[in-house]
Structure 1
Amino acid sequence: MTGEPFAATDAGGPARLFELDNGRGLVARVTDYGATLVQLHVPGRGGEPADVVLGFDSVEGYQSAAVPYCGATVGRVANRTAHGALTVDGEEYELTRNEPPHHLHGGGLRSFDRVVWRLVRADERTVEFHHVSPAGEEGYPGQVEVSAVYHVTGDALTVTYRARTDEPTPLNMTNHAYLNLGGAGTGTILDHELEIRADQYTPVRDDLIPTGEYADVADTPLDFRGGGPVGAAMRELPRPTNAGGYDHNFVLRGGQGEKRLAATLRHPGSGRVLELSTNQPGLQFYSGNGLSSPVGKLGRTYDRHGALCLEPQYFPDALHHPRFPSTVVRPGEVYEHVSEYRFTSD
């Protein structure tokens, strides 16, 4: 499979689009620009399909700031790193401060979402991309070789990231898909019912940098253990850290290493249900607070809270907080992130 053209990129060279089909109604389309999930068609209660991820009709939309990191592979380090400061084994490094004064989602011009990945293999069920990030890129130590694999089987899309390094360096990758189970551009996600298997979260300061503490979700608007509408308690979030909605890291039960169920998302109208399983220790829940009417696929408008992100990952700013699981990967070790998005209907 060679893929179809997806327009030229600001990273040099053309981007291509690849289609995966499980033969049972689940169809994903992925581009080598940013190893990005562009479309994800899923059947509803009556068998009718809908594209449940936000995106654009050509690569130009992914190069704009309209919907940052839309469907992209994020790295080297997802989320925020305070003041772009990094210390590994006593050596200090200065990262790109692309969300001044902090570092966000791997940096600026050469973060993983902004480069064209090399195609390794592609067929109707699997596509694999490869990327080499040289030492010093966006300020990080060590050369990193990383693969991104999208695979459809049964009722699920599985995303797997693997990486090796020649020097100790932090790695914390995720996929930044914006989800709306009613269909992209069909309304808000405030009526979606969300369950997150987490008893704690990591509180943040007003600039969304963690304090380094753990806090219980009990008796707070962040308690999704029993499931409930996303919008039910949003107004009760403390200001100003709520940033107009949820943007919080949850401490998943089960720690790290073994893949287990992390969250369940339901859309009452269509009957679509997503079960998200992962081997990552945390889940960043973002309720699309920054969406502001960009025009996406098929000319549809993506309004505020028009989608949400469920991003399995290590905790934000982990290197600055000894109590958080370490993100440092060393030579000879293999970094592996596995997330499974399983769809059914009720």
Structure 2
Amino acid sequence: MMHYRLPKTRDFERQLGDKHTHLVTLENNRGVVVGLSDFGARIVSILVPDKLGNPTDVVLGFNTIEEYLAADEIYHGATVGRFANRIANGRFTLEGETFYVKPNNGPNALHGGANGFQNRIWDRRVVYKEKADFYYVSADGEEGFPGKLSVMVKYRLTDDNELVITYRAETDKATVINLTNHAFFNLNGEGNENVLDHLLQIKADAYLPVDSHQIPTGAVESVENTPFDFREIKPIGQEINLTNDQLAMAKGYDHNYVLNADVTTVQLPAATAISPLTGIRLDVLTTEPGLQLYTGNFLNGNDKGKQGVYYEKHGAFCLETQHFPDSPNQPDFPSTLLLPGQVFHSETSYRFSVVK
């Protein structure tokens, strides 16, 4: 049996350039403890009680800031931006001007470029036992994006075992924005086997097929009679190895779901995952129109996690709430344009409970 605990605070206290990194701890009165770092405004740990009451860390990550800096997988738990997911060829046009983000994923710009928000040390202005706010100002031209963008990410842990993430941003020039959190979940407990037996439900009647570079083709296709149909709860791995061009290109699931309209108001879960082993249930609620299901297809055994276990393929899943990939180049997708005077606002909640 694995014994989970929060990493040591001192192992996250480092000076990087002119900033200091820290580990911030949130806790509620029902045994949930969340570890956050201002390096990438990221989730380091989420400890929740399993069906026997044992604290279980359900998020992949590392015990020290040095391991995050050296990791093969750089997005563990991070706030991702300016633009989550892929922009085809790193190019998009706004108000007649073409902007270029240097590709870092084949021909694509992924997750805001090579030096995106996951590598930035955010300011931490307010911390309570149940709340932590992180702030970052992205300079005009950073990674090729236009406009000075002021971003806030607020984490709040409730006594209903819900970690609420609120995003807010303003710009001084027309720009594009798509923010998400890149937590890698394993509800068996971090480092405890793969997640293919986890049960998963996604409230989406459609998904976006992709081309060989994992850019949406522009089509919106029904999930019916495909391996992408998670409208009824089923094991993640039930159809992951079926002969299917989309699964083959991504080496598993790495696709955006078009969420049904009734689950984009933070009132009803957009997705639900359950571990049969621990009984831990995760409900994801969001205001976003899309959700990227990623099944850890490129975890490659190079990174050793908090329990000393190397992270292998399908050792976690991600449910990244977002606007659609490549939206700046696909006018039929929900707009990711942010103009001066507007406020970008988005909310996503991770709600934990136990199925006995």
**Normalising TM by the smaller chain, what interval?**
over 0.9
**Counterpart among 117, 121, 129 of residue 124 in structure 1:** 129
Give the superposition deviation at 1:67.
1.9
Aligned to 1:328: 337
CA separation of 1:215/1:105 partners in 2, compared to 1, >3 Å: closer, same or farther? same
Identity %: 43
Which residue type is aligned with residue 131 of structure 1?
Y
Which residue type is aligned with residue 336 of structure 2?
T
Distance in 1 of aligned mates of 2:153 and 2:316:
24
Distance in 1 of aligned mates of 2:211 and 2:38:
36
**Counterpart among 277, 282, 285 of residue 274 in structure 1:** 282
1:319 match: secondary structure? helix
**Counterpart among 310, 321, 324 of residue 312 in structure 1:** 321
Aligned to 2:153: 148
Distance in 2 of aligned mates of 1:323 and 1:106:
21
Q: State the aligned residue count.
A: 343
CA separation of 1:249/1:328 partners in 2, compared to 1, >3 Å: closer, same or farther? same
CA separation of 1:139/1:266 partners in 2, compared to 1, >3 Å: closer, same or farther? same
CA separation of 1:127/1:312 partners in 2, compared to 1, >3 Å: closer, same or farther? same
Moved over 4 A (4+): 9-12
Give the superposition deviation at 1:4.
5.1
Distance in 2 of aligned mates of 1:215 and 1:242:
17
CA separation of 1:288/1:43 partners in 2, compared to 1, >3 Å: closer, same or farther? same
1:83 match: secondary structure? helix
Whether the 8 Å contact between 2:227 and 2:239 is mirrored in structure 1 is yes
**Counterpart among 222, 230, 246 of residue 224 in structure 1:** 230
1:300-320, Cα deviation, whole Å (9 max, x unpaired): 221111101000000000011
Give the superposition deviation at 1:261.
1.7
Q: Which structure 2 residues correspond to residues 191-206 of structure 1 after superposition, within 5 A? A: 191-206=197-212
Whether the 8 Å contact between 2:263 and 2:269 is mirrored in structure 1 is no
Which residue type is aligned with residue 150 of structure 1?
Y
CA separation of 1:170/1:160 partners in 2, compared to 1, >3 Å: closer, same or farther? same
Which residue type is aligned with residue 253 of structure 2?
Y
Q: Which structure 2 residues correspond to residues 166-181 of structure 1 after superposition, within 5 A? A: 166-181=172-187
TM-score scaled by length of structure 2: 0.93
**Counterpart among 328, 336, 340 of residue 349 in structure 2:** 340
Q: Which structure 2 residues correspond to residues 58-207 of structure 1 after superposition, within 5 A? A: 58-109=64-115, 111-153=116-158, 154-207=160-213
| RMSD value, Cα | 1.5
Give the superposition deviation at 1:255.
7.3
Whether the 8 Å contact between 1:10 and 1:63 is mirrored in structure 2 is no
1:95-123, Cα deviation, whole Å (9 max, x unpaired): 121223210000122x1110100011001
Aligned to 2:4: none
Aligned to 2:6: none
CA separation of 1:322/1:256 partners in 2, compared to 1, >3 Å: closer, same or farther? farther
Which residue type is aligned with residue 22 of structure 2?
R
Mean CA deviation greater in 249-258 or 90-99: 249-258
Mean CA deviation greater in 4-13 or 162-171: 4-13
Aligned to 1:254: 261
Give the superposition deviation at 1:89.
1.5
Mean CA deviation greater in 192-201 or 66-75: 66-75
1:297 match: secondary structure? coil
CA separation of 1:143/1:10 partners in 2, compared to 1, >3 Å: closer, same or farther? same
1:20-76, Cα deviation, whole Å (9 max, x unpaired): 001211110000000010000011112111000000011122223422300000000
Give the superposition deviation at 1:257.
6.1
TM-score scaled by length of structure 1: 0.96
Aligned to 2:312: 303
Aligned to 1:283: 291
Whether the 8 Å contact between 1:156 and 1:343 is mirrored in structure 2 is yes
Whether the 8 Å contact between 2:133 and 2:154 is mirrored in structure 1 is yes
CA separation of 1:183/1:176 partners in 2, compared to 1, >3 Å: closer, same or farther? same
Whether the 8 Å contact between 1:79 and 1:105 is mirrored in structure 2 is yes
Give the superposition deviation at 1:258.
2.3
1:123-176, Cα deviation, whole Å (9 max, x unpaired): 110000100001000000000000011110021111111100011100100000
Give the superposition deviation at 1:14.
2.8
Distance in 2 of aligned mates of 1:318 and 1:16:
34
1:274-328, Cα deviation, whole Å (9 max, x unpaired): 1110000000000001111220113122111110100000000001111100100
1:317-343, Cα deviation, whole Å (9 max, x unpaired): 001111100100111111112111111
Give the superposition deviation at 1:13.
3.2
Distance in 2 of aligned mates of 1:32 and 1:341:
19
Distance in 1 of aligned mates of 2:71 and 2:109:
16
1:257-280, Cα deviation, whole Å (9 max, x unpaired): 622421000111111111110000
Distance in 2 of aligned mates of 1:327 and 1:9:
35
Whether the 8 Å contact between 1:77 and 1:173 is mirrored in structure 2 is yes
